[in-house]
Amino acid sequence: MILTDQMILNAIEAKTIVIEPFKRSCLGSNSYDVHLGKWLGTYHSEVLDAKLHNQIGLIEIPEEGIVLQPHEFYLGVTEEYTESHAHVPFLEGKSSIGRLGIDIHATAGKGDIGFCNTWTLEISVKKPVRVYRGMPIGQLIYFEVSGSVVTPYHTKRNAKYARRGEHPVESMMFKNFEDLSLN
């Protein structure tokens, strides 16, 4: 079941959902609009290696915006910090963003119960398009779950994306290989 606006407000009051900053005007009938933060990341290497820590460079989006290019891959970040302690959050692009040819995630649209952070966006574009920090970029949808959670995401020993930050976070896939070597 997807939470309605009233259920999202109830969960915020109960502190099982946290959205900072929260603006009532961003709450839809069954979703909450999130905005593009001021940082983009791009990988330094032309060829990425899943076993290595691929480093990114940060670009601050200027007030006049920045033109994203096709055949480039950008990591963005939401302005909003969120926590979800009893519901599964899903991040989807807004239809207006899709109609500009912007994809905001390649595969990682689902969060886990216990995810407490800003959202890193995996941005690609079909045509050159100018984007601006603070523009609506996506919407969070919350799903009710059945049963209790044994280990919320932020308490997992191997939670790779649990450190709070305002910058996009590069892939931590290499840590999976490190974990395998410890077994």
- Span 131-164, pLDDT tens digits: 999 999 999 999 999 988 888 888 877 777 877 8
Q: Which residues pair with 19 in a beta bridge?
A: 82
Residue 45: inside a domain: yes
Q: Residue 181 pLDDT > 70, yes or no?
A: no
32 neighbors 4 (Cβ within 8 angstroms)? no
Torsion sign, CA atoms 54, 20, 29, 152? positive
C-beta separation of 7 from 116 below 8 A: no
Main-chain phi, psi angles of 21, to 5 degrees: -75, 150
Residue 153 lies in a domain: no
User: Would you call 13 a catalytic residue per the annotation?
Assistant: no
Beta bridge mates, 58: 41
**pLDDT computed for residue 162 by the predictor:** 78
Q: Is the pLDDT of residue 183 over 80?
A: no
CATH number at residue 72: 2.70.40.10
Retrieve residue 56's tokens: 């990114």
123 falls within a domain: yes
Residue-wise pLDDT tens digits, 84-134: 999 999 999 999 999 999 999 987 788 899 999 999 999 999 999 999 999
- Indicate the number of domains in the chain: 1
**Is 152 a domain residue?**
no
The catalytic residue among 79, 122, 144, 178 is 122
> In this prediction, what percent of the chain has a pLDDT beyond 90?
76
Two structure tokens written together for 112? 């886990």
Rounded to whole angstroms, the Cα distance separating 72 from 74 reads 7
**Domain membership flag for residue 42:** yes
Range of lowest pLDDT (15-29, 59-73, 76-90, 104-118): 104-118
pLDDT for the residue 179: 61
Residue 25 covered by a domain: yes
- 127 lies in some domain: yes
Question: What integer pLDDT is reported at residue 62 of this predicted model?
Answer: 98
32: domain range?
A: 5-147+158-182
Q: Does some domain include residue 113?
A: yes
Q: What is the mean pLDDT of the chain?
A: 93
Contacts of 87 (CB under 8 A, 6+ apart): 3, 11, 16, 17, 113, 142, 143, 144, 145
